[in-house]
Amino acid sequence: MDCVPSAAPAPIIRRAEGRDSAALTALYQSLVPDNPRIRVLPERVERLRADPASVLLVAAVDGEARGTVFVTLCADVMYGERPYAVLENFVVAPSARGQGLGSRLLEHAEALCREHACTKMMLLSAMHRADAHRLFERRGFRGDLSRGFKKYLGKG
């Protein structure tokens, strides 16, 4: 009997739940490994679930969050009632990269933004994340249109 390798299970893209807090903490620590202040509180994740302008998505494989992106729908005055979106803390577990999880997360985020008639989606990415940048460009993001700036406030 021939052994045929089974395909990797398809990820389920869903809103994060409090029970995902440990997996989210691990994902964020892989994104920013030298930051000891990272900790995801289950109650904070649950409060975000109730906020219609904040959508914390996870790509779950076998029930465990293996990737995530946080989408904030931002009110704007420039285009009537249409918001814009900021995507933050996009990360796929190192062991799960190259399997399409990032693309699926970004597809889902874009569908959400289109449902809300967003004018644009914006994200920032650390300069050294070249693989992520290629993914963003394949998904239609342009890195040559704007320049991002950050100013961190305190150590809270």
Q: Check residue 75 and give its pLDDT.
A: 97
Is the pLDDT score of 111 beyond 90?
yes
Structural domain that includes position 89 = 12-138
Whether 6 is covered by a domain: the verdict is no
Q: Is residue 124 part of a domain?
A: yes
pLDDT in tens, 26-45: 999 999 999 999 999 999 99
Q: Looking at residues 78-87, what average pLDDT do you find?
A: 97
DSSP 55-123: EEEEEEETTEEEEEEEEEEE--STTTT--EEEEEEEEE-GGGTTSSHHHHHHHHHHHHHHHTT-S-EEE
137-152: per-residue pLDDT in tens?
A: 999 999 999 999 989 8
Q: How many domains does the chain have?
A: 1
Whether 151 maps to a domain, the answer reads no
8 Å CB contact between 85 and 118: yes
Question: pTM (2 decimals)?
Answer: 0.90
> Across residues 127-143, what is the average pLDDT?
94
106 part of a folded domain: yes
Reported as type and span, the H/E element at residue 131 is helix 130-138
Give phi and psi for 103, each to the nearest 5: -60, -45
Q: pLDDT-derived band of residue 47, with 50, 70 and 90 as boundaries?
A: very high
We report the CATH number of the domain holding residue 51 as 3.40.630.30
Closest listed residue to residue 74, CA positions, set 52, 56, 57: 52
